[in-house]
Structure 1
């Protein structure tokens, strides 16, 4: 990785999170890194955008009173320098499956970069949860992000020159917790599982993502080749993805359009 490489680093957990510091320290050894990140936790906000945001100088760069998408637009269009690569993360908690792609602030930062024609890497750490403790209550340390920082630095160093982004707008990277030995990379596709549920309780409706209730490697229903299976089984999942979404033209819809004109 050349020292002349410019990287814009952002996230959705907030500029004070352990994950963004881990990536900043690793990437800064090989590139010029400017952080433009939310001033507070803006997880699961998708590509929400603001009309105006306050910006504060920070020892890493800039703290923005807004969303990850705000940060990317502000960073690329104004705060600069204009980067060769946008990196989002490292998120505490995995971003797995098709349905997460539009919900995650981490992924949305990468998608926003794609509309600027800037390649991006979104990196998340898979933190296994159990019935008693959700992933966001685990005490994750800087050392837990070591593998995520290592693979993100590797991809930032090699993917641009290798031509990876000639075929992908961004990479969705999910990394298991380190277990001593470096984890292998598997090129994956997003899982199609969707198990959102809702239950009314008085005046409230409680929404539950039940996908995370069936993450046992021995009984995982996701097929081979998916991001979820790879990371649960201890491999680094890298999904090469495109933005914007493709349009699927087909004859039936054309026939309906013709019928509408003839009414």
Structure 2
């Protein structure tokens, strides 16, 4: 296939994960894909960065002894051709809600790309809580591959990245019919719990527990609600974490 679109593909589950293979195969049909991914599982490392990483050639590209953010920088600056778009995934397990944006290695790879000036798409597959933990087979990432391919083909040329720096995409498991796509915002519903047992404390993500019970109180238009309704959730996001300047802080600084 001849194409001018250059895609850097990474993830946080590791280069040998089935979700990565599924996206590699799906995107190779529409783009020149350079695979630069962690050699081992780097889930939930956020934007952790190394000063030096090892590299090995892999049948798909390059395996990096480092984090997803390391892979993005290595791919953009050392290993790949000039890149048009970074894609991260497909992650096993959804990355839903505003609170996961800084935790997820999958999303953090997209954020790293955005800070480097390259548009990006993070793709994750929702595995229901009653099926967790399990790693779906490659074919179970078919809906994720379809959504990723659709966005990779169209988003860069349709003005999407004139308004967003990256897209956080969450996909349900395949059903009898293809899932519809919904544009969403990250849910702000968030609740953690902790229980102590002797010398250890177990942390509980109560939002995930509520999802498994179907009782999560996410408003219409949010990412988690969309996925629970069997839709592909696409949240357009920007990388800088900023707020507006305000008089209260100005006065505080003036009094210092």
Consecutive unaligned residues of structure 1, counting only runs of 5 or more, are none
Structure 1 residue 3: deviation in Å?
A: 1.2
Q: Secondary structure at the match of 1:63?
A: strand
CA offsets, 1:55-82, max 9 Å, x none?
0011111000000000001111111112
Q: How does 1:34-183 map to 2 (within 5 A)?
A: 34-130=34-130, 133=131, 135=132, 137-183=133-179
Give the match for residue 189 of structure 1: 185
Give the Å deviation of 1:118.
0.2
TM-superposed deviation, 1:248: 2.1
Residue 219 of structure 1: aligned partner: 215
Runs of 4+ in 1 over 6 A off after TM superposition: none
Which sections of structure 2, spanning at least 5 residues, go unmatched?
none
TM-score (normalised: structure 2)? 0.97
- What is the deviation of 1:218? 5.2
2:31 counterpart residue number: 31
**Residues 129-176 of structure 1: per-residue CA shift (max 9 Å, x gap):** 12xx5x2x2241111100100010000000010010000000000000
Q: Any idea what SS the aligned residue of 2:195 has?
A: strand
Aligned residues: 256
Shift of 1:2: 6.5
In the alignment, is the contact (CA less than 8 A) between 1:217 and 1:233 conserved in 2?
no
Let me know the Cα RMSD of the aligned residues: 1.4
Q: Which moved more, 1:171-180 or 1:2-11?
A: 2-11
Range with greater deviation from structure 2 (155-164 or 217-226): 217-226
What is the SS of the residue equivalent to 2:129?
coil
| TM-score, normalised by the number of residues in structure 1 | 0.94
1:215 aligned counterpart, secondary structure? helix
The structure-2 alpha-carbon separation of the partners of 1:161 and 1:206, relative to structure 1 and needing over 3 Å to count, comes to same
